[in-house]
Structure 1
Amino acid sequence: MADLTHISEKQLRRCKQLIRALCCNFDHGNCIALDDGEPCPCVQGFSYSLLCRWFRQAVLPADRELYAEVMRERTEKRCCICGKPVFSTSNRAKYCPGCAQRERRKQDARRKRESYWNLRK
């Protein structure tokens, strides 16, 4: 228990949204897995530490950006444009998902523009 991961207020709010939307053990503020006859509140919903193993393994990976921030995996990998942590499955990723889409459109437009003018010559 000494190596608990601590999260900020902003990260806690995002975690609560994930819990409400995706956690199968969440039932109107209570945790079904901890229920032993009487309702027990979901500990992950109000704790600034990652206490729930189910949340860490099954729910948190659904939000890749939050997962990268909280679990601090590959902290040296940051988006080249905005600086957000990037969670990727390959070593070629340079951008977060939002910036990747914008950068891809810019590169496509540049390539098509160059191709057009090279054909006109």
Structure 2
Amino acid sequence: MSRELTREEKRKIRALVTKWCANYDKEYGCLPLECECYMFGKCWTGAYCRYFREAVLPLDPALEAALMSEGPPPEFKPCPVCGGPVPLDGRLAYCSAACAKKAHRRQQREYMQKKRSCDVDN
């Protein structure tokens, strides 16, 4: 079942195509088709350009989840480290392993600073 794309989703699709699509050229549009990019005119979920779906869309996991899932777009919360999207499934706290590692290092640093300040007071 398809649904209408939101304004934000259309904006993100356009940004991904203009920045990352190898088939897109500012002067000519879509190089294999020699016309405007098919993804610029998308209004509904459903059929996507194969190259966009396989190579470009995975660069934005939140948009990929929203476009490839059935029904309304899934909800996301911001990553506390970088602000990237984290699914609201209750299990993930960070958007990537790198963000989790940064947060763990920051927590350890704060813990050691607090521990050292307590040792000095005694």
TM-score range, shorter chain: 0.5 to 0.7
Q: Is 1:80–1:94's contact at 8 Å kept on the other side of the alignment? A: yes
Counterpart position of 2:41? 46
Task: Map 1:1-121 to 2 at 5 A.
Answer: 3-4=1-2, 6-28=4-26, 30-33=29-32, 35=33, 39-50=34-45, 51-72=48-69, 75=74, 78-79=77-78, 85-86=85-86, 93-96=92-95, 100=99, 104=103, 107-120=107-120, 121=122
User: What number of residue pairs does the alignment pair up?
Assistant: 107
Output the TM-score relative to the length of structure 1.
0.62
Output the TM-score relative to the length of structure 2.
0.61
CA shift in 2, pair 1:86/1:71, >3 Å? farther
Q: Percent same amino acid at aligned positions?
A: 28
How far the C-alpha of 1:22 sits from its partner, in A, is 0.6
Secondary structure at 2:86's aligned position in 1?
A: coil
CA shift in 2, pair 1:77/1:41, >3 Å? closer
The letter for the 1-side match of 2:42 is S
The separation in 2 between residues aligned to 1:78 and 1:44, in whole angstroms, is: 27
The letter for the 2-side match of 1:13 is R
The separation in 1 between residues aligned to 2:75 and 2:29, in whole angstroms, is: 37
Secondary structure at 2:54's aligned position in 1?
A: helix
For structure 2, the residue ranges without an aligned partner over 5 or more in a row are: none
CA deviation string 1:36-90 (max 9, x = no partner) = xxx32211012123521221111011122322333349x4774586xx8526xxx
Structure in which a larger fraction of residues adopt strand = 2
The separation in 2 between residues aligned to 1:59 and 1:66, in whole angstroms, is: 11
RMSD over aligned Cα atoms: 3.6
